[in-house]
Structure 1
């Protein structure tokens, strides 16, 4: 419950609690506690309504890459609003920012991924990928190629289609998904591989599983494989070396389109504008992106297609037929202007280079927490990291879910001026790319104090 003595604050807190349906809300606590009201920001910090400042360890939601409250971003957005705030891109109309950003994304994307379709976020980008891949195979007369393969613990969005592709089982509770169209293979999580199994054997097993699934479903029935380079909301899972190259080879073998979901990993989080080729040495058929594309300043997503796909879908399917896919806000000029300014800032300030320089330090400092008794694993790369908490480091057994260990750590952090994201028994870190060494030192020290405090709480409550 809000403890503010400010009447305006109390009113906003109550209005939010009474009327705003929040994404991913825990209704077992929300009706009592409501929401933390944020009112300001600066670089890597956010400020609540009472003026308390917090280092944002999660970058809004994997996305505020250039940091908060950038004046030149505000000016770029305002300038575009003054020029032309909106016009439909249906048919034969466009705007300058939409055209320029498409060309810039084609320049940055690997290989022959030269064609951009805009949406409003990552879920829509992945929905678009499915619809256009289906259309592609229809155009080729391969109308049975419809099924999608993705991975348990992969996250691809919250629309009906993208949530069906998502493999985080807890996200499906009570909701429907398209179980006939989408099929999941297991998560390539090296931390959870059987004791004594080598990384090489583990990788062999996971690659074979993809091929076996394609053969089981029938290659003539499988359209696409969706994979995040590093799995985000499923626990920041970095697959074993060579996994992506080998799964791409399997997809090529069976004419299955490879969709690299870079909604989180693109635009600097791993030190590259796109991670697929630079970090994992693959050039997929499709890249989906959002989040860091505008650093969260405005909603925008993109589905980037190869020349091969575009050449097929850009031909009329029948006399008088048109390409009937799109949204009112596809290529929104103000959002595209924000995307252009975001990339300009990133390139001018070499934020990718900054992440490569400080990312190793961030990883090293976070891994120092492994000496704590409940920290089982610290994993990830650069500014995309996860701490997995366990009851027993040797057996890797988890704590009772009722212990809410991730939430407890996040609450202790928040009281100390740091925001981290709880994901069940885990805590995720995805800070702004503008983070300094001093910020990192504060973040890690605060996490250590908070995990130690949580460990004492768990002992006192009988969970340890």
Structure 2
């Protein structure tokens, strides 16, 4: 029996695998849930139990878990040219085709695409490019970056500094100097009594303006934000927010970076979240759904306003001293091209809008539940914010209800993710109304079970 236990995949994972976003000591005690295979919107663990993957893995598996065309695209490219880089004027067909395709899809005029391996790497590189640009323009003091509280932009040292979540900073000696965080645009949580959404949006813009003035407009290079906040709780911007924020940035000649890692490639019911909210960014970050996460891949687009000074500086120095071995990987580029082709062929952006509206209608039926404080979302991206039973708020610490709900939902065959007490729902873009019904039925039964237990 001991030999069997020691040879189990759970025991070997605990013995050898150091997990991200996990309590290491708790993992030593409890071990992992091991996924074995997937089909459509479902995954199956190594006991054969089925789960609806309501988070599309990590906001990312757009096409579900068994899209053969992506596997075929990867295999064909591996057979033809399994690797090449883009250093020293080198290139290859898939990345040229992909760069051209992305520029054609861009929600605002863009000039060039730079390829990386993850959203974190992309945002890290973007900040280096912004600094490089400031130096090229003879403005070495213009280096500060403003992000938002509860924003999520990655976990490398620079991108984690941009992220506005405390646990991404604690014990890492972050954030770096020069990274600032302004107001989170969550009206339900941060709005004041009697304040309308538009008034709250005005206050957010005024807070940003005040921060820029306090820091010195000549020292602020860029503002980075997700069209809809993802890991910070699926925070949907209040009415007029983006119009007012962009007016502030324009006033002070500050670059706008749209982090489309979660929102991009159809999630909000448009190809990019920037289109959903009429955002005109200078830089756009992309990852996750760009390959349906079948292979690690990411990119960012820049407009001429960004590109021209950077290109001039690389000419002055003789090289742009930045790049990644796996950046512009031909297999990743081939899979990305096939992913975009499938999204377009099957009109999955429209499905995100239509089935997403259906999902929101179904989730909104939960607003009267004793444990539900708010339902929010757009397209196939939503959150259900839990609240303690009335009069018992002091009994439950932050994240207690969300954590308990996660356990119950998982037992019932639904995988979500609690961000403190907000339950996220970000299913694959291929989800059908019938599958939405099944997902919401499990969520409702889980809420009722927890309410009964309390």
Shorter-chain-normalised TM-score: which range?
A: over 0.9
Q: 2:57 aligns with which of 57, 60, 72?
A: 60
Residue 405 of structure 2 aligns with which residue? 409
1:63-114 superposed Cα distances (whole Å, 9 cap, x missing partner): 0001111111110000000001101210111111111101100000122113
1:307-346 matched pairs, under 5 angstroms: 307-317=304-314, 319=316, 321-346=318-343
The answer to whether the 8 A contact 1:190-1:202 is kept is yes
Matched, 1:172 2:169: yes
Residue 372 of structure 1 aligns with which residue? 369
1:386-406 superposed Cα distances (whole Å, 9 cap, x missing partner): 11111256x995762277211
The answer to whether the 8 A contact 1:248-1:284 is kept is no
Give the 3 Å change call, closer, same or farther, for CA 346–319 of structure 1 in structure 2.
Answer: closer
Residue 79 of structure 2 aligns with which residue? 82
1:403-431 superposed Cα distances (whole Å, 9 cap, x missing partner): 72112111111111111112221211110
SS at match of 2:122: helix
1:217-276 superposed Cα distances (whole Å, 9 cap, x missing partner): 001100110111001111011111121122112111111110011100001111122120
Give the 3 Å change call, closer, same or farther, for CA 345–396 of structure 1 in structure 2.
Answer: farther
The answer to whether the 8 A contact 1:214-1:222 is kept is yes
User: What CA distance in whole angstroms lies between the structure 2 residues aligned with 1:342 and 1:164?
Assistant: 31
1:179-190 matched pairs, under 5 angstroms: 179-190=176-187
Matched, 1:255 2:247: no
Matched, 1:144 2:162: no
Matched, 1:153 2:150: yes
1:19-418 matched pairs, under 5 angstroms: 19-27=16-24, 29-192=26-189, 193-276=191-274, 278-317=275-314, 319=316, 321-391=318-388, 400-401=396-397, 404-418=400-414
More moved, 4-13 vs 285-294: 4-13
TM-score (norm 2): 0.96
User: What CA distance in whole angstroms lies between the structure 1 residues aligned with 2:21 and 2:253?
Assistant: 36
Residue 422 of structure 1 aligns with which residue? 418
The answer to whether the 8 A contact 2:169-2:175 is kept is no
Structure 1 residue 171 displacement after superposition: 2.5
User: What CA distance in whole angstroms lies between the structure 2 residues aligned with 1:33 and 1:180?
Assistant: 38
Give the 3 Å change call, closer, same or farther, for CA 8–60 of structure 1 in structure 2.
Answer: farther
More moved, 221-230 vs 15-24: 15-24
Cα RMSD of the aligned pairs, angstroms, is 2.0
User: What CA distance in whole angstroms lies between the structure 2 residues aligned with 1:430 and 1:319?
Assistant: 45
Structure 1 residue 7 displacement after superposition: 4.6
- What is the number of equivalent residue pairs in this alignment? 453
Residue 462 of structure 1 aligns with which residue? none
The answer to whether the 8 A contact 2:297-2:332 is kept is yes
User: What CA distance in whole angstroms lies between the structure 2 residues aligned with 1:306 and 1:197?
Assistant: 37
Structure 1 residue 170 displacement after superposition: 2.9
User: What CA distance in whole angstroms lies between the structure 1 residues aligned with 2:23 and 2:252?
Assistant: 42
SS at match of 2:134: helix
The answer to whether the 8 A contact 1:160-1:177 is kept is yes
Structure 1 residue 283 displacement after superposition: 1.1
The answer to whether the 8 A contact 2:136-2:313 is kept is no
TM-score (norm 1): 0.94
The answer to whether the 8 A contact 2:122-2:285 is kept is yes
Q: 2:447 aligns with which of 443, 446, 451?
A: 451
User: What CA distance in whole angstroms lies between the structure 2 residues aligned with 1:257 and 1:319?
Assistant: 23
SS at match of 2:322: coil
User: What CA distance in whole angstroms lies between the structure 2 residues aligned with 1:150 and 1:12?
Assistant: 41
SS at match of 1:113: coil
Structure 1 residue 10 displacement after superposition: 5.7
SS at match of 2:423: strand
The answer to whether the 8 A contact 2:155-2:168 is kept is no
